[in-house]
Structure 1
Amino acid sequence: MASRPRNRKEQLTDAAAELFRRHGYHGVSVNDIAAAAGVTGPAVYRHFRGKQDVLAHVLLSGIDRFGLVTDQALARDEPLNSLVEAVSALSVERREVTALWRWQGRHLDKADQTKIRKRGAELLGHWISALRDARPALSYDHAEMLCWATLSVFGSVADHHVTVPRRRFEQFLGGLAHGVLAGEIVTAEPVAPPAWKRPASVPSRREELLAAATKLFRERGYRDVSMEDIGAAAGIAGPSVYRHFGGKAELLAAAGYRMADRLMVAARGAIESACAPDQALTGLVRSYVDIVLRSEDLLGVFAGEVAELADRDRKELVRVQRAYVAEWVTLLRTVAPGLAEPEARITVHAALTIVNDLTRTPRIAARPGLVAELTGLSMAVLTAGGSMTRG
C-alpha cells in the first residue's frame, strides 16, 4: 500500500488557496479542495475540522511565509531594497496568498481574525522601520501610509490574471513598489462643508432596503444574509421586503448595477471634461477615489460577491468591470505609449487596489485629507508603471 505523503496538509493548503482566490470562500467546497489536491473529501478532515479551518490555515500560513521572507530580507544589506525584491518574488510565485485576507478574512472566527490582525501589524511595523531608516526625514504617519499602499501593490496581483514572464513580472512589480516608497504624501486642506446646504431628500423604502442589503452583504457575505436580516436592518418585517424586491438575488444585482453605473458615468465625465490625456487620467483617478469613499458597501458587493449572481447578471457586471479597467489602461498607454498592454493592466490594478484597500483600513480611512492622498498614491503607481517601458 502506498504511504500517505508527508506534505499532504501543505498540498491541501496550496490547492485551497488558489480555489479561494478564484472563486471566493462560498464558491469552494471541501470536495472541491480535495479534488484539486487529488484526494477524497474525507481525507481533508484528517487535517482540518472543516472549510473555515482550511481558510484559517491558508491565511495564517501565508502570513507566516510573508513574515519569514521579511525577516530574511531585513537581515541583508539595504533592507528596504531587499524587502521589495523578496516580496515581489513571493507575490508572483504565490499570488493567491498575498491578498486573500483582504476579502476572505471576514469568514474566519474572531480568534483567527485577531491573530491575522496582530501578525499583520507586526509585519507592517517592520516595513515602516525599514522605510524610515532609508528616509529619516519621513514622519511615522507618512511612512505608514506609504507602506500600506506598497503592500496593496503586492496584493493587487491576486485580483487579476494578467501575467508576463516571471522575472519581468517580479522586476515590474518591484518598480511599482519603489515608485510608492520613494513618493511623497500629497496633502490638501480638508474641504469645510458649506454653512448651509439643501436638506437631503428622504430615501425611499426601496433605497433603504438596498442600502441595508449592501451593508450586510459586505460585512457578512451574501450567503450569510437572509431577507429577514435585510428587513430588520431597514426596520421592516422580512416579508415586506418582497414588495420592493423579488428576492435576495435581485437586491444583489441591483447593488452591482448601481456601482457599475456610478463608475462608468464618472469615467465618461472625467474623460470628456479633460483637455489632455494626462489630465483625463488624473480626473479618472480622482473620480474613482470619490466614488469608493461614497460607496464602500457597493464596492464590497461589486468586487467580492459577483460570483453569487445569476449567470446573465454576473457576465454583464464582469463585462462592465473589464470595460472600466480598459478605460484606465487606454489612457495610461496614451500617456506612456511605450508601455506594453500587460504591464499597463498590472499597473492599473495596483492603482485601483491601493484605493480599495486603504479606504477599508480604519486607521487610514479616517484621515481628513484622504481624497488627495489616495489620488496622489494612485498617480505615483501609474507614473512608475509608465516610466518602465520596454526597451
Structure 2
Amino acid sequence: MQAEGGATRSSSRRERLADAAAELFRRYGYPAVSVADIAAAVGVTGPALYRHFKGKQAILAHVLLNGMDALAAVVDEASVTFAGKPQKALDRIVERQAELSVAHRDISALWRWQGMHLEDADRRRLRKRGGAMLGQWSQLLVRVRPGLSPADADLLCWAAFSVFGSVAVHHASLPKRRFEQLLVTLADAVLSATLPTGADDTEDAGGDESWRAVPAEPSRREELLSVATRLFHQRGFHAVSMEDIGAAAGMAGPSVYRHFDSKASIMLAAAYRMADGLEVDVRRALAAATDPADALHRIVASYVDFVANSDGVAMQYGQELAAVAERHRTELRKRQRDYVAHWVRLLRTLRPEVSEAQARITVHAALTVINDLPRTRSVRTRPALAAELTELAMTVLTAAGRTNVESPG
C-alpha cells in the first residue's frame, strides 16, 4: 500500500511539474524559463525535478505530446461512439475540441509557439500524431460531404483546428459555455464552407496594386530584415545568432553590424515595419471601400496578401520582444491592438448583435486561420490558397452573428 501511495504521489508531482512548466513557458517563453524556476513553482529542488524529467525540454515534450494525444482521443472516441453516423461524430469532435481549447488555452499556446524548441524526434512525433488526428477528422468530413475532395477536406479541417488554436493568441473571453458555443459556431461554419473555384484572383480585391511593387534589388538592410524575420519565425528569436542572419543573407556575420547594432534592433525594426505596412493597408482599404462589408473584405484580402508576401511571418508582439525596451513593447502592442480594433469595429458595424468580446474572439480566429494555413505543409502549395484564405476568414467573420451566444442558457 505504501508503494502504491508513493507511486501516486510521484505521478501527481510529475503532473504538477508539467502543469507549472506549461504555465511558465506560456507566460515567459521557453528560453526564459529555467529548471530551477519550474522546481520552485512546485516547491521542490532542482535535483528533485530530475527524478521525474530529464530536463525542461523533456517537460515541454511531455506537455505537448499529451495535449495532442487528448485531441486524438476526442477523434477516436467520436468515431467509435458514432460509427456509421459521420455527422454525429463530426459534431462530437467539434464540441469536444471547443471544450478542450477553452479549458486548456495554455496548451494551445505552447503547441503554436514553443514546439520549435523540441528535439527533432519529439517534433516529428508531434507532427505525426497531429497529422494522423487531422487525417481521421478529414475522412469523417468527406463522408459528411461526399463531393469534397480529400485535399479540400484537409484544408477545412486545418482551418477549423486554427479556429480552436486561436484562443492562445489573445485574452478575450466569455463565460465558459458561451465561449465554447462561439467556437463551435465558427468551426462549423468553416467545415461547411464552399471553397472558391478557378484561378486565384484576390489581387483585385484591393484595387490598384502597383504601390506594392518593390525594387528589383532591395537594400542590404531590407534583405537582412527579411532574412532575420524568417529565421526568427522558423527557429525562435533566441536560437538565431547574428552569424546565422549574415550567413542566410550571404554576408559575414560582422558585416551585419554595419546595418544593425544587435539582434534585438533587427527584431524591433522588423516589428515596426510590419506595423507600418498593416496600417497602410487599412488606410487604403477604407479609402477604397464602398461600404462596411466591402471594407472588411478588402482588409481581409490585404492581410492575406501581406502574410503571403512577408516570408510567412505575421509576428506576434509577445515573448519575442522581451529583448527590446519596454517603451517599444508598449507601442507595438498598442499598434497591434489598434489593427485588430479596425476588424472588430467593422464586424460589429455589420453585426450589431455581436458583443465586443465575441467580435474580438471571432476576429482573432479569422486572423489565425490566415496566419496558420500557409505554414501547414499539406496546404501551402495550393494554387488558389490566397483566395481560399480570404474566403475562409470571411466565413469565420460572418458566422459570428448566427448564434447569439450571449443569450441566457
Normalising TM by the smaller chain, what interval?
over 0.9
Kept in 2, the 8 Å contact 1:252–1:301? The answer is: no
Output the CA distance in 2 between the equivalents of 1:218 and 1:304.
12
Q: Distance in 2 between matches of 1:190 and 1:181?
A: 21
Give, in whole Å, the separation in 1 of the partners of 2:393 and 2:198: 16
Q: Write the letter of the residue equivalent to 2:26.
A: R
Following superposition, the deviation at residue 131 of structure 1 comes to 0.9
Cα deviation 1:66-94 (Å, max 9, x = unaligned): 11222122223310111111111111111
Q: Which residue matches 1:81?
A: 91
Q: 1:90 aligns with which of 91, 100, 105?
A: 100
Partner residue, 1:67: 72
Q: Distance in 2 between matches of 1:192 and 1:61?
A: 39
CA distance in 1, matches of 2:75, 2:263: 43
Aligned to 2:265: 250
2:380 aligned partner? 365
- Which residues of 2 match residues 117-156 of structure 1 at below 5 A? 117-156=127-166
* Structure 1 partner of 2:330: 315
Tell me the equivalent position of 1:107: 117
Show the counterpart of 1:54: 59
Structure 2 residue 226 is matched with structure 1 residue 211 = yes
Change (3 A) 1:98 1:244: closer
Deviation at residue 61 of structure 1 after TM alignment: 0.9
Q: Normalising by structure 2, report the TM-score.
A: 0.89
Q: CA deviation at 1:304?
A: 6.5
One of 297, 302, 314 as aligned partner of 1:287: 302
User: Which residue number in structure 1 is paired with residue 24 of structure 2?
Assistant: 19
Shifted more, 330-339 versus 132-141: the winner is 132-141
SS of residue paired to 2:106: coil
C-alpha distance 141-297 of structure 1, shift in aligned 2 (>3 A): closer
Q: Which residue of 2 is the match for residue 338 of structure 1?
A: 353
Tell me the SS of whatever aligns to 1:299.
Answer: coil
Q: 78-87 vs 20-29, which deviates more? A: 20-29
Match of 2:173 among 153, 163, 179: 163
Tell me, yes or no, if structure 1 residue 349 matches structure 2 residue 344.
no
Aligned counterparts of 2:172 and 2:99: Cα–Cα separation in 1: 16
Which position in structure 1 is the counterpart of 2:400?
385
Two-structure CA RMSD over aligned residues (Å): 2.2
Deviation at 1:309, TM superposition (A): 2.8
Which residue matches 2:343? 328
Report the equivalent of 1:374: 389
Q: 2:207 maps to which residue?
A: none
Q: What is residue 206 of structure 2 aligned with on the other side?
A: none
CA distances 1:168-193 after superposition (whole Å, capped 9, x unpaired): 11111111111111111123414699
Paired residues of 1:76 and 1:82 also in contact (CA < 8 A): no
Q: Contact 2:90 / 2:140 at 8 angstroms: preserved in 1? A: yes
- Alignment-mate amino acid for residue 397 of structure 2: L
Question: How far did residue 31 of structure 1 move?
Answer: 2.7
Normalising by structure 1, what TM-score? 0.93
Work out whether residues 103 and 304 of structure 1, in 8 Å CA contact, stay in contact via their aligned partners in 2.
no
Q: 2:45: which partner in 1?
A: 40
Contact kept? 1:218, 1:301, Cα under 8 Å: no
- One-letter amino acid matched to 1:103: W
- Taking every aligned residue pair, what percent have the same amino acid on both sides? 54
- Match of 1:342, SS state, is helix
Q: CA deviation at 1:124?
A: 0.5
* CA distance in 2: counterparts of 1:120 and 1:90, whole angstroms: 15
Specify the SS of the correspondent of 1:97: helix
Deviation digits for residues 357-384 of structure 1, max 9, x if unmatched? 1011122111111111000001111111
* Kept in 2: contact 1:27–1:307 (CA 8 A): no
- Seen in structure 2, the aligned counterparts of structure 1 residues 124 and 239 have a Cα distance that, compared at 3 Å, is same
Unaligned runs of 5+ in 2: 83-87, 204-209
Residue 185 of structure 1: aligned partner: 195
Deviation at 1:200, TM superposition (A): 4.2
CA contact (8 A) 1:274 1:283 kept: yes
Deviations 1:277-329 (A, max 9, x none): 11111111111100001113542465772334332221111111111111111
Are residues 211 and 200 of structure 1, via their aligned partners in 2, closer, same or farther at CA, if it must alter by over 3 Å? Answer: same
- 8 Å CA contact retained: 1:153, 1:173: yes
Q: CA deviation at 1:149?
A: 0.2
SS in 2 for 1:163: coil
Instruction: State which drifts further: 45-54 or 232-241.
Output: 232-241
Is the Cα contact below 8 Å between 1:70 and 1:87 reproduced in 2?
A: no
Residues in 1 aligned to 2:44 and 2:396: alpha-carbon distance in whole angstroms: 42
Distance, in Å, in 1 between the alignment partners of 2:22 and 2:346 is 34
* In 2, Cα distance between equivalents of 1:301 and 1:235: 27
Maintained 8 Å contact 1:25/1:107: yes
- CA drift at 1:18: 2.4
- Report which stretch shifted further, 146-155 or 226-235: 226-235
Tell me the matched-pair count: 387
Separation in 2, partners of 1:384, 1:192 = 21
Contact 1:232 1:238 in 2 (8 A): yes
